[in-house]
Structure 1
Amino acid sequence: MPEKPAITSSELGILWLTYQEKTMILRMLEYFIEKADDDKAKKIMDDLYSELDNYVDKITDIFKSEGAAIPIGYTSKDVNKDVPKLYDNGFDIMFVRLLKEISMGLHTLNINMAYREDIVLILKDLTSITQATYNSCTQYLIEKGLIARSPYVSMPDSVEFVKDKSYLGGLNPLTKLGKKRTLNTIEVAYVYHGIEANVTGLQMITGFAQCANNSEVQNFFSKGAELSKSVIKEMSETFLEDGIQIPVTSGGHATRSTVAPFSDKVMMYCTSLFCSFSMGGNAVGSAFSLRNDLAAKMSIFTKDIFEYAHEGAKIMIRNEWMEEPPQMEERKDIIKK
């Protein structure tokens, strides 16, 4: 028996996806580290860079040992550190925090599709690194007063059970079923999370729109900024209807710079990754929201984001920026030959 079994198609796919994501993050970290003006923020990003770079090498070694082509991913050609700051006021750590939130979700899914011990250990280690970095970013932002917390609530003094199906209502205000009850704390959590993620995403994509070199890409980013604004507005109104305060962060914003630190290719991929994360978040939020109007809103957001992401994919294909994942064998073609 061989010392290690050959990697499966699932393992090849998740390693390929991880390579793409990590090489993108490394390029972005290179720029943010260069422009960091806070020693603590720089250390968080330096430490993350060193650890991720090591695991990109490990994944590369697996590709080599298996005789698989090494993906291109994102290289030094995709970053220019010698340009003015595109973001300021703690955006770098806000951005890294959101990236790590995405990574946590990806690693959790991927580890369930891996079988070989060395690959499972890589994903386990990356999960640990991601969780530690996410916490460091969160505590940094709280310490600097750059992030708001979700709304507070009075603690429950008794346990209640749902007694009427009107608990699920909210779509039709003219009927009993349509009468909206106050949001429960689970729903508040998902609505607030959507606002928080879209605020950071809005700042990111606004900066991308300012500096994109391709006019079609620039228009695409501007459209994305408007989509983020609409999501923030709709979710904020849901809070206001119940008299819930909307915490507002004072951190992170795009500067006036119009010089691109990143290639259009890497900015498009980053936006695609954020869209996938947003669709997943809305799907989970919809599943755990018991008020019908919330589930409906999140479903509409998911549809709009999917259509936007699909438009982005077509732009990437036209410009030959979309690297193709490893494909299964075309059995019909092999048989014909």
Structure 2
Amino acid sequence: MEHNPELISSEVAALWSAFMQNSMAYCIVQHFANVNEDEDSIDIIQTAMKNCNYVVNEVKQIFEKETHAIPIGFTQEDVNLNADRLYSDLFTLRYIKYMAATGTAAAAALLEVLARKDVREFFAKTSEMFMKLYNDTCDLLLKKGAFIRSPTIAPMKKAEYLQSESFLSGLIGKHRPLTAIELAHISKNTETNSIGRTFVAGFSQTAKSPEVRNYMERGTEIAAKHETVFREILVEDGVPLPSSWDSNISQSIDAPFSDKLMMFQTLSLNELGVAGYGAAIGTSLRKDLGGHYTRLVAEILQYGNDGVKLMIEKRWLEQPPQNVDREALRNRSV
């Protein structure tokens, strides 16, 4: 007997999130394409738009087939293609690299909670597409000498077991050297904050709503503070600092994106920041690092919560699919 399973909750969540993220990214990359002056970047920008468009259209088809409501997401109303340049062409490549990396990781991580063959095949193809985009963007950044590398460490001469619990906290008043895993997380979280700080700095000067401008200014300060914490850890450990992720921001006050899109992008970066800090907490054995991450993640969570409240107040936050409210049905007026 032929079996036609309905979408399960994890599949609906994965498809809905993919639609929201890619409809937003498509708008952002459209603006980048419109102001781009770097001929080397044209193919990568076009591929990024093609990938995002593919995801959005595939989710639409699946939802229509299953009679699920199509998300509102982000449309041409959320991007002003006549707006002047806000970010540099180099930042465009760095954004696409970051977008492709997170898209690949998200699609791969989702596979274990997907049951239906068509949904699994869709996310497997999505992961493959974004992985290729990531590699192509890395190659171009390396060619331009603009790929930001994490710090280097001396080769390990001998593999051995730990013999003292002091490895966890270090000697009194002194911490043991950072492990390669701890360095990797510090570098990744510094990168996330740098991209976020560049984004929200541009958002703060182009947002139309005073509340959104203030929110973005606050985000710039938080990201800069977190970057400083990570850099100070590296300096204290005598680790060479990686190159700065700073990118030029123009003086334009002509908004290329709607306030709604800017808020959603900021909250998305916030979520990635929380996930990055959580992963770092789980793999950082030095107790002082755990303390830093715990304190910083609390600040991000509060900032994100305030952003959600602002989006609800402005009626910009789209409701995710949710289970039936049985109590509301029982209490409905007859």
**TM-score range, shorter-chain basis?**
over 0.9
Aligned residue in 2 for 1:156? 156
CA–CA distance in structure 1, aligned partners of residues 245 and 224 of structure 2? 17
CA–CA distance in structure 1, aligned partners of residues 43 and 258 of structure 2? 25
Aligned residue in 1 for 2:329? 334
Higher mean displacement: 276-285 or 190-199? 190-199
CA contact (8 A) 2:194 2:245 kept: no
Deviations 1:222-246 (CA, angstroms, capped at 9, x unpaired):
0000001111100000000011110
**Which amino acid letter does the alignment assign opposite residue 142 of structure 2?**
I
Aligned residue in 2 for 1:263? 258
Correspondent of 2:298 among 303, 311, 327: 303
For residue 156 of structure 1, give the secondary structure of its aligned residue in structure 2.
coil
Using the TM superposition, give the Cα deviation of residue 2 of structure 1 relative to its aligned residue in structure 2, in angstroms.
Answer: 5.0
**Which amino acid letter does the alignment assign opposite residue 267 of structure 2?**
S
Aligned residue in 1 for 2:71? 71
Aligned residue in 2 for 1:173? none
For residue 90 of structure 1, give the secondary structure of its aligned residue in structure 2.
helix
Describe how 1:1-337 pairs up with structure 2 within 5 A: 1-2=1-2, 4-169=4-169, 176=171, 179-249=174-244, 252-337=247-332
CA contact (8 A) 2:37 2:89 kept: no
**Which amino acid letter does the alignment assign opposite residue 314 of structure 2?**
N
CA contact (8 A) 1:168 1:177 kept: no
Deviations 1:159-213 (CA, angstroms, capped at 9, x unpaired):
122111010005xxxxx46531111111111111111221122111111111011
CA–CA distance in structure 2, aligned partners of residues 203 and 24 of structure 1? 17
CA contact (8 A) 1:165 1:177 kept: no
**Which amino acid letter does the alignment assign opposite residue 126 of structure 1?**
T
Using the TM superposition, give the Cα deviation of residue 251 of structure 1 relative to its aligned residue in structure 2, in angstroms.
Answer: 5.9
CA contact (8 A) 2:18 2:55 kept: no
CA–CA distance in structure 2, aligned partners of residues 3 and 33 of structure 1? 44
Using the TM superposition, give the Cα deviation of residue 155 of structure 1 relative to its aligned residue in structure 2, in angstroms.
Answer: 0.9
The aligned length equals 332
Mark the CA change 1:330 to 1:238 in structure 2 (over 3 Å): closer, same or farther.
same
CA–CA distance in structure 1, aligned partners of residues 235 and 310 of structure 2? 37
Using the TM superposition, give the Cα deviation of residue 17 of structure 1 relative to its aligned residue in structure 2, in angstroms.
Answer: 1.1
Q: Tell me the TM-score normalized by structure 2.
A: 0.95
CA–CA distance in structure 2, aligned partners of residues 111 and 147 of structure 1? 30
For residue 113 of structure 2, give the secondary structure of its aligned residue in structure 1.
coil
Unaligned runs of 5+ in 1: 171-175
Mark the CA change 1:250 to 1:71 in structure 2 (over 3 Å): closer, same or farther.
closer
CA–CA distance in structure 2, aligned partners of residues 223 and 23 of structure 1? 26
CA–CA distance in structure 2, aligned partners of residues 331 and 203 of structure 1? 45
RMSD of aligned alpha carbons: 1.5
**Which amino acid letter does the alignment assign opposite residue 175 of structure 2?**
K
Deviations 1:16-66 (CA, angstroms, capped at 9, x unpaired):
111111100111111111111112212101012123212311110111111
Unaligned runs of 5+ in 2: none
